[in-house]
Amino acid sequence: MNKFEDDFILGTATAAYQIEGGVNEGGRMPSIWDTFSKKEENVFMGHTGDIACDHYHRVKEDVKILDNIGVDSYRFSISWSRIFPCKDEFNPEGVKFYKNLINELKDKKIAPAITLYHWDLPQWAQDLGGWENRDCIYWFEDYCTRIFEEFGQDVSMWITHNEPFCASILGNYLGMHAPGNKDLKKALIVAHHLLLSHGIVVRAFKKFKFENSKIGITLNLSPTYAVSMKKEDVIAAKISDGYNNRWFLDPLLKGHYPEDMVDLYEKEVGVLDFILEGDLNIISTDMDFLGINYYTRSIVEYDGHSQLKFRGVDGEKEKTAMGWENSPESMHDLLTRIKQEYTKLPLYITENGAAYDDVVTGDNKIHDIDRINFIKVHLKVIQEFIKEGGNLKGYYLWSFMDNFEWSYGYSKRFGMVYVNYNTQERIMKDSAIWYKKIIKARSLEV
């Protein structure tokens, strides 16, 4: 029987803006997501994170549910604008909120894993140019250093950034996320500054010499396949891979940006003169692990009309409510590639999961069999990869509970715990009951 080792982490994850609510409480000031979600048509039906899952007021109850499920670790993010609501203005009440959460978790022997930046830049920082401004890196360093001083000893796992691709490209090139820009050059500057801030924060962290505490970054990676063997489709797939994956993996793990993409981007936006001497050395500072968020594969073809000459093609596999294919084999391809081409560092799947259109039955149950199957096939791949010698140390299911799914608002449910947004009642879906069994047995055969 295939068992998960005792030190393999079976956890779950959320992010601050997606669950907390309480946006005007405890001294918090707006982030770019408050601003973005309040502008018409940015988010499905005008939804915002104002109340979300009201986790701000329900920490105790939520940790109790985590404890009931039995997760080894809970990954959550800190809202920077609770800690520094205004520039240089530290807010002890913000720290108190997270200290309380950490203590609740530790009481229940759940290891906290903290993401320092999950897209909710304080609005004051955006007003000063946001991540486009190189100074933002140092504001981020100040905030992280303060957090390390407050909680460093209590937290075993730190993630500098969640999905810098989304924060830079979705937020600044495609305009689908805050702050809503549509400018490739801006997006590339933001991506560079995010990566640089990662390296600077890793260096700041190492100075503390915390025992049993590690730091890394989380990338959303999508293995990319050409729709056909035609030369132009193969080239399109290479570009798409460069755009999604290599632009982030290469600087972090190889110390340089991929040359083919530098050439392409320079043709589009001019010289990338925001990359200064020494930056890549900092970006590639040794970290302790690589976090990977994996949801689906991408299939692409050549598109002469698009700026970067590729477009996504619909695949034929079964899809989740996001329209994303359920493709566990591609996660295997991805992990194998990371191991062979990039790093021997410990890997964590810091997110994996699926949205489905859940139905609450008359007796208040949610029989989310599709979600159970989705998680199961991905956990199987993880076991396979570990058997083959892969250095994979943990799995965080996205998400602990239904939450604000960015531009989709509350219309997509990723949780293993159902949230009734009218009453804030939480109901464990069948997937949570199943995950509990898996964790207890440390095996998929339950």
Asked if 7 and 212 count as a contact pair (C-beta separation under 8 A), the reply is no
Asked if 290 and 250 count as a contact pair (C-beta separation under 8 A), the reply is no
Contacts with ligand IFM by CB under 6 A: the residue count is: 8
CB of 41 to ligand IFM, least distance (A): 20
The verdict on whether 341 is a catalytic residue reads no
Residue 348 or 398: the one with the smaller Cβ distance to ligand IFM is 398
Return the residue of 115, 126, 172, 293 that touches ligand IFM, per CB under 6 A.
Answer: 293
Distance CA 173, CA 180 (A): 8
CB neighbourhood size of 359 (10 A): 10
CB of 262 to ligand IFM, least distance (A): 27
Site string for ligand IFM, 143-182 (x = CB under 6 A): --------------------x-------------------
Both tokens of 426, joined, read: 């939480």
Rule CB under 6 A: is residue 241 a binding residue for ligand IFM? no
Residue 123 or 293: the one with the smaller Cβ distance to ligand IFM is 293
CB of 396 to ligand IFM, least distance (A): 11
Distance CA 155, CA 292 (A): 19
Both tokens of 347, joined, read: 């890997």
Per DSSP, the residues of 295-333 read ---EEEEE-TTSTTSEEE---SS-B-TTS-B--HHHHHH
From 104, 132, 163, 325, active-site residue: 163
The set of residues, in sequence order, having a beta carbon less than 8 Å from that of 189 and lying 6+ positions away, is 131, 132, 274
DSSP state of 167: I
Rule CB under 6 A: is residue 69 a binding residue for ligand IFM? no
Asked if 78 and 86 count as a contact pair (C-beta separation under 8 A), the reply is no
Distance CA 204, CA 101 (A): 24
CB of 163 to ligand IFM, least distance (A): 6
The verdict on whether 351 is a catalytic residue reads yes
Rule CB under 6 A: is residue 15 a binding residue for ligand IFM? yes
Rule CB under 6 A: is residue 215 a binding residue for ligand IFM? no
Rule CB under 6 A: is residue 351 a binding residue for ligand IFM? yes
Segment 410 to 429, residues that bind ligand IFM, using CB under 6 A: 414
DSSP state of 31: B
Binding residue per annotation — 141?
A: no
Closest CA to 116 of 197, 50, 30: 197
Return the residue of 398, 410, 418, 435 that touches ligand IFM, per CB under 6 A.
Answer: 398
From 150, 301, 325, 351, active-site residue: 351
Rule CB under 6 A: is residue 405 a binding residue for ligand IFM? yes
CB of 414 to ligand IFM, least distance (A): 6
Binding residue per annotation — 398?
A: yes
Cis peptide before 179 (omega within 30 of 0): yes
Rule CB under 6 A: is residue 34 a binding residue for ligand IFM? no
Cβ density class 308-337: b for 16+ within 10 Å, e for less: bbbeebebeeeebbeebbbbbebbbebbee
Residue 398's Cβ-side half-sphere holds a number of Cα atoms within 13 Å equal to 20
> From the annotation, which residues make up the binding site?
18, 118, 162, 295, 398, 405-406
Residues placed in the known binding site for substrate: 18, 118, 162, 295, 398, 405-406
> Catalytic positions, please?
163, 351
Question: Which residues in this chain contact ligand IFM in the complex, by CB under 6 A?
Answer: 15, 18, 163, 293, 351, 398, 405, 414
